[in-house]
Structure 1
Amino acid sequence: MAAVQSRPMRLGKLPARILAPWAALLLGAAVPAGAADIKALRIWEGPDYTRAVFDVSGPLDYKLFELSDPGRIVIDVKDGRIVEGLGAPAAKGMLKAVRIGKQGKSDARIVLDLGAEVRPKSFLLPPAEKLGYRLVVDLYPKQKPAPVKTVKQVLPGEPRPVVIAIDAGHGGEDPGARGATGTHEKNITLQVARELKRQIDREPGMTAILTRDGDYYVKREDRYRKAREARADLFVSIHADACPGSCETARGSSVWVLSTRGASSEAARRLADRENRADLIGGVSLDDKEDSLAAVLLDLQQGATMDASNAVADHVLVALRQIGPTHRRQVERANFVVLRSPDVPSILVETAFISNPAEEKRLNDAVHREKLAGAILDGARNYFRMMPPQGTWFAANADKFRPSRHVVGRGETLAIIAERHGTTAGKLRSANKLASDALRVGDVLDIPAG
């Protein structure tokens, strides 16, 4: 990428064909502001778009427009000042080069040289965490790239593998939580996600996809959309928790599922959004259904999905308990956007408290990350052995995973037996069709696989 220029740049006289649609191309907005310093520039390259982020000293007035032959984006910043020593990073994605200089007597001009036709989008971000104001310019390709096949293909009639979508939380301009020694959550989540994919892809009857495989940001809605497009059987979002303030002693993994409130809001949104109604939800299209029937179908599908999410979360929590402390002894619930898929069972795993120095150190250890990924895999595998999706390798090999049995002894409770066999009381009740937790000495219980 070309070095930053400090001399004035002239673009020449604009032809009428460019001046006419200027208003339509004006993506920047006028924000009441004074002089603004342009302090730093970062570029993030993702598979779907390229993002340029300018650190600025405060709110600014700017105008953004496009020029062609050659293609470029021009951003004029009113009363913009370029901080001495500002450098331009190497070219990435759809950006060939970035040039920054003066425009007139008091304005700054930023020129983004393009390597392809793009649809630009720009916005100003307010301060957040330790970041100040940022001017963000996203470049989307005008022609959407063809989707890459990432799931193992099977011959007709053969059992298919179970597909697990793994979501590495945060990324790019969103670093997530920060540890005491500077570890960024976004890096830990990607390392755990890659390790989990590696282990899953070695398992018979299982395959995995990643929602992101690099240091770039993916919108939360796009994360579970990628899982649905891959027809995933499970969505696992990986995070590293942080305790605000000075509570550095908080520790342990946790597993989360969607709250009923989150499910209700997502259902309402989908029923109101005609584009979403046309989606396949559990194999049923809602676009041609009356509102009352569509609501019933969606409610039934979401109920089944949330039951499956709870079940797999229980298994994963039990497996995580085998390698270290958990923050809570039960699965937790929250209105996380990434868990809102109506037809893909979804869980969120907080691997540890990155704000705890001891746990931050473990998260930076490859051996510990391997154990974390192994525990998540163990929980998912145990769930699919017990509840194999139709047409999968697990369903075709169900006889291999028949549950073992346990004879109830004196003083044993359902919780004690569940802990001993690495399962949960709820799973024992379900597997044995128990109406309560009451047991008698000599009772024989079927133990779910795993």
Structure 2
Amino acid sequence: MAQQACPFLTIEPSGQDLYGEISRIRDQGPAVEIELPGGVRAWWINGLELNKRLLAGPETSKDAFQHWPAWINGDISRTWPLAIWVSVRNMVTAYGSDHSRLRKPMAAAFTKRRVDALLPRVQEIVDRALDDLERIPAGEVVDLRAAFAAPVPHEVVCELFGVPRGEDGPRRALYRIIDSFFDTAISLEDAQANAVDLYGTLTAFLQDKREHPADDLTTALIAARDEGSLSEQELMDNLILLLTAGFETTVNLIDNTVHSLLAHPDQLELVRSGRVTWEDAIEESLRFEAPGAMSGLRYAVQDIEIEPGLTIPKGDPLVVSFAGAGRDPERHGPDAERFDVTRATSRDHVSFGHGVHHCLGRPLAMAEATAALTSLFDRFPRLALADPARPPKRLRSIISTGHQELPVLLHGRNPGPDLGPRAEEAGAIRKLSELRGTSGTKVPRA
């Protein structure tokens, strides 16, 4: 077995140079041993075909309790800041027959009938968010992530799971908790407090839902629990998975697609002119900026030969990099780092997973993104980045790929003769302050 020479590449927790790190890892080989935040070592996998092989085949598991000796033996502390990504027991971290057992009630809950029935409501949610945007004075800079990309999926996922409204209800709490859930630069203390807050909020929510059942996914999952298909812990952890994944990845998909189109006006014009479809643009966005940069850790069930002289030992953890696979030059060509809505290979990505772990929520996420993007650009045809020369700051995450803020001008960069640069800057500060609140936490509509 070939061993990589130290020092290991250390993945910076803030994710601000994620694609630069991915490129440097790719230069070292198809599987490279790196150090994750918190000092945990793992093998990083970038190539698309190798990603697919390890996602779909029997060589790897996502169950740390069965297949990661360092976790089983306690060598990895349960206080590791990323521990919740390992400790949860849901269909994403399950292996073999356990995965099939847990996925079955989720698949039943995500029926085409249920998703189709939700689509008119998705459009209503999109239209209401756009109505709110239209009330903003021309010339003010708007954080489109906070004002549109986030509230739409938040409302949709809450309706799908029957999360009640109300000033003191779980909607606001879940929004705040999920916002921190993907922060891989978070302190140990804050990560632990967020996990306690998450489980406490969901415990109260499940108790309320048992007392007030309805035609929603949470009630369907509770029924599966009562029938013996799930344990109480599995019910809780699968709910965490569905709420977080159903929200964050769709927010990022909308955010990233808007940013990529506005940053590449020639590509936006191809979509506007009808020469390519909105689906083409969304698929290229999924390839170019995978909404989830990586899967949860996987573990080698056996020694895995990557190539002659390079073997991942049994029991070692792996990072399957969706972001790396999307920009694999062996599949997408030497210009894989370029956003191109006409790219013939755009649909060949793993942003929704692959094989038995392929995302059940893909049809809903695609429908949400299509409704949001087509309606946004129809309503605001002059939409523009507020500062094209300054890329928005990325999320503090190596897991979630999006922007902390997406400052835009809804009516272009010609707001009127009375708004010069100073007034425009003042409007930006005022609007972002209103959206984020005095605590700096983004607050959705209740």
Q: What TM-score do the two structures reach when normalised by structure 2?
A: 0.22
Q: Which has the larger share of strand?
A: 1
**Considering only CA atoms, is the larger Rg found in Structure 1 or Structure 2?**
1
Q: What TM-score do the two structures reach when normalised by structure 1?
A: 0.22
